[in-house]
Amino acid sequence: MTPPSRCGSVAIVGRPNVGKSTLLNRLVGRKLSITSPKPQTTRSRLLGIKTEGLDQIIYIDTPGWQRRAPRELNRLMTREVLGALQQVDVIVLVVEAGRWCDADAHVFAHIRRRSLPVLLAMNKIDRLAGKSELLPELERRWAAGSFAEIVPVSARFSDNVAALEQSLRRFLPQRPHLFPEDQLCDRSERHLAGEFLREKLVRLLDEELPYSAGVVIDEFTEQGKLVRIFATIWVERPGQKAIVIGENGAMLKRIGEQARHDIERLLGRRVFLRTWVKVRENWADDARFVRELHRQLPAHAR
């Protein structure tokens, strides 16, 4: 008799910028979720699926946990995290090694109410001066209690990520697989293309602007070996539009080139990308417009 298949879902949670999305990409082995040194890069839930033999692990990347949610967009992001915790088998709390702080404690206080196993992933161990720094912290966290396991990792350098996956497998219930073996993500290529474009805005532009920008893919068509993509970047003020476009269009060109490169890698095909920048005042406060952007997500992720 063949052994039964196992399938479980893992929510990846934590305060902003600790490396949740980088970790998801490593665990799945493909860039799906966008990452940047700035907080609030991830706006909505994303599933990354890894099937290996009898085991299927469904990883759920979530926006950073926000204590205050001043705008409609932020409130939506917090709902995304809470929603992600509804139906999971295990939670990975990501923190930065050597930097446990109030915000981490705040997230932990929330998730431990769920009476689900919580694994602590201490990320960015590459930044520690030496392993000797790690040991006392591991002991402190362990003594503070309630973690099913503590795994130090470096998502950026893929250090010990396989060990984390191994630990997670123990929590997979026997269950038929929910997704086909070759499916990596719950999002369409069209949606990921928009996200990759937004990643470049976040990375290439100054602090404030990316939070005021939203991306809509207006057209995504296959033409033989080429994929043709038309996109609109929505900003809130005419001044922001000028910044995104840059002098003689230089910034928009750079954003477009970098996004195209990532999209081509994802699709394994050549891409023709054209991008427009348009203004819509205070769109991030506008519940209807935020929902409209959000509608590009599949129903279960909304």
Rounded to the nearest whole angstrom, what is the least distance from the CB of residue 184 to ligand GDP in the complex?
18
Q: Does 62 bind Mg ion (CB under 5 A)?
A: no
Q: Does 22 bind ligand GDP (CB under 6 A)?
A: yes
Q: Using the rule CB under 6 A, give the single segment among 30-38, 175-183, 224-232, 267-275 that binds ligand GDP.
A: 30-38
Q: Does 64 bind ligand GDP (CB under 6 A)?
A: yes
Q: Does 18 bind ligand GDP (CB under 6 A)?
A: yes
Residue in the block written with tokens 């052994």: 3
- Determine which residue in the list 6, 45, 50, 124 makes contact with ligand GDP, applying CB under 6 A: 124
Shorter beta-carbon distance to ligand GDP: residue 6 or 15: 15
117-150 burial by CB neighbour count: b if 16+ within 10 A, else e? bbbbbbbbbeebeeeeeeeebeeebeeeeebebb
Q: Does 210 bind ligand GDP (CB under 6 A)?
A: no
Site for Mg ion in 19-38 (CB under 5 A): 20-21
Helices (H), 145-237: 161-169, 189-204
Q: Does 156 bind ligand GDP (CB under 6 A)?
A: yes
Strand ranges inside the chain, DSSP E:
6-13, 46-52, 55-61, 90-96, 118-123, 149-152, 214-223, 226-235, 270-279
Find which of Mg ion, ligand GDP, none residue 22 binds, CB within 5 to 8 Å per kind. ligand GDP
- Quickly count: other Cβ atoms within 10 Å of residue 88's Cβ: 21
Long-range contacts of 114-117 (CB under 8 A, 24+ apart): 114/85, 116/85, 116/88, 116/89, 116/90, 116/91, 117/89, 117/90, 117/91, 117/148, 117/171
Site for ligand GDP in 233-262 (CB under 6 A): none
Q: Does 218 bind ligand GDP (CB under 6 A)?
A: no
Distance of alpha carbon 104 from alpha carbon 91, whole angstroms: 14
Tell me the CA end-to-end span of the chain in Å, nearest whole number: 40
For the record, the structure tokens of 120 come out as: 């602590």
Shorter beta-carbon distance to Mg ion: residue 21 or 123: 21
Find which of ligand GDP, Mg ion, none residue 240 binds, CB within 5 to 8 Å per kind. none
Shorter beta-carbon distance to Mg ion: residue 20 or 31: 20
Find which of ligand GDP, Mg ion, none residue 278 binds, CB within 5 to 8 Å per kind. none
For the record, the structure tokens of 207 come out as: 């602090």
Q: Does 84 bind ligand GDP (CB under 6 A)?
A: no
- Determine which residue in the list 8, 19, 194, 214 makes contact with ligand GDP, applying CB under 6 A: 19
Distance of alpha carbon 183 from alpha carbon 142, whole angstroms: 36
Residues at the interface with ligand GDP (CB under 6 A): 14, 16-22, 35-37, 41-42, 64, 123-124, 126-127, 154-156
Residues at the interface with Mg ion (CB under 5 A): 20-21, 42
